[in-house]
């Protein structure tokens, strides 16, 4: 039996959930507030990191741990990728400045910002940007962003251009397919993926939201389960959908308590809990009174399926220490 419960929140624009198996906690961000959260569902402990913004903006759009350094996190800070230090024994609320900025991008589009990010099977960091967003969620300056790959040697490469709103990322367990969402194409796409080099090729559509009758839902964050099926958060849609990419069809839908669902990840001791973030952004006061759990973080159990362990950023400690010095 499927069960949904709120485990944290509310926040204004929750995003980027990442399960930390070593410490059995959930990392996620509040983008517009510039905050990172660390939630321990088993104990209800909750820590809150305020990251001071830099010259490329103050939004914090993603958070990913650095492998072998549990006190270091990589975050999207405006148009920059930065490293912050957050010890596990830190106070429940802490304000920090970045230890260093690894890269800044999109200088020719200064109102852009980073959005979703994830690490591939080899530990490279993939992060995409989006155009300027106005007062209405999902309405952005089109085709101004890109999808970037940061290698374990910290070199950066733009892999996909003319992105409007970069979002969900996932890799197949055989390391041959990369799944990707540019939200404003209203589709979930696939690429051939070369794990040795990180190169992409042969972009094609897995699911067309308009053809599937899902619009006005907007595809947002995404993760993959052990069966190779994709779980996609539907902003505006109050649900998470499960897609079988081998046939390009929706095989399951799970309704959530929040209309603006933003992202998903697998977690828990056996990776059988689907964690879901949501947003209050764009909801009127009247709507918020009705949908009182908007902006919450939810745990969905009883789905009968398990996810895959997450991957951390596998940069060498020596190289990172040199950049932070």
- Catalytic center residues: 220
Cβ 193 vs Cβ 175: under 8 Å:
yes
Residue 228 C-alpha from the chain's centroid: 19
> Within 13 Å, how many C-alpha atoms sit on residue 161's CB side?
2
For 194-226, the three-class secondary structure string (H helix, E strand, C coil) is CCCCCCEEEEEEEEECCCCCCCCCEEEEEEEEC
Handedness of CA 242, 244, 245, 249 (dihedral sign): negative
Q: What share of the chain is helix, strand, coil (3-state, %, to 5)?
A: 5, 55, 40
Cβ 253 vs Cβ 239: under 8 Å:
yes
Give me the DSSP letters along 50-72: EEPPBTTBS-EEEEEEETTEEEE
Q: How many CB atoms lie within 10 A of CB 91?
A: 9
67 vs 317: CA distance, rounded Å: 9
With a CB cutoff of 8 Å and minimum separation 6, the contacts of 124 are 149, 150, 151, 152, 198, 314
81 vs 75: CA distance, rounded Å: 6
149 vs 103: CA distance, rounded Å: 11
57 vs 111: CA distance, rounded Å: 9
The pair of structure tokens assigned to 97 is 């400045």
């Amino acid at each position: 039996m499927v069960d949904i419960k709120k485990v944290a929140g509310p926040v204004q624009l929750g995003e980027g959930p990442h399960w930390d198996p070593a410490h059995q906690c959930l990392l996620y961000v509040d983008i517009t507030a510039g905050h990172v959260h660390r939630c321990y569902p088993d104990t209800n402990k909750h820590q809150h990191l305020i990251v001071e913004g830099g010259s490329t903006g103050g939004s914090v759009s993603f958070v990913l741990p650095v492998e072998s350094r549990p006190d270091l996190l990589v975050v999207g800070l405006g148009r920059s990728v930065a490293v912050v230090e957050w010890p596990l024994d830190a106070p429940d609320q802490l304000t920090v400045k970045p230890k260093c900025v690894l890269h800044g991008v999109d200088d020719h589009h200064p109102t852009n910002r980073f959005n979703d990010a994830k690490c591939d099977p080899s530990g490279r960091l993939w992060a995409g940007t989006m155009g300027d967003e106005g007062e209405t969620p999902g309405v952005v300056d089109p085709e101004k962003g890109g999808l970037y790959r940061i290698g374990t040697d910290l070199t950066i490469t733009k892999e996909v251009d003319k992105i409007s709103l970069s979002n969900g990322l996932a890799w197949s367990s055989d390391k041959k397919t990369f799944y990707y969402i540019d939200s404003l194409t209203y589709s979930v796409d696939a690429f051939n993926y070369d794990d040795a080099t990180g190169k992409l090729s042969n972009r094609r559509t897995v699911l067309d939201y308009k053809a599937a009758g899902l619009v006005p839902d907007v595809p947002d964050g995404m993760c993959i389960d052990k069966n190779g099926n994709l779980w996609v958060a539907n902003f505006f849609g109050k649900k998470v959908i499960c897609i079988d990419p081998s046939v390009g069809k929706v095989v399951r839908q799970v309704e959530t308590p929040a209309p603006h669902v933003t992202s998903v990840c697998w977690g828990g001791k056996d990776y059988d809990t689907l964690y879901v973030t949501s947003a209050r952004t764009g909801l009127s006061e009247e709507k918020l009174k009705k949908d009182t759990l908007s902006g919450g973080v939810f745990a969905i159990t009883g789905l009968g399926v398990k996810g895959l362990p997450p991957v951390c950023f596998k940069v060498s400690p020596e190289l990172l220490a040199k950049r932070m010095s």
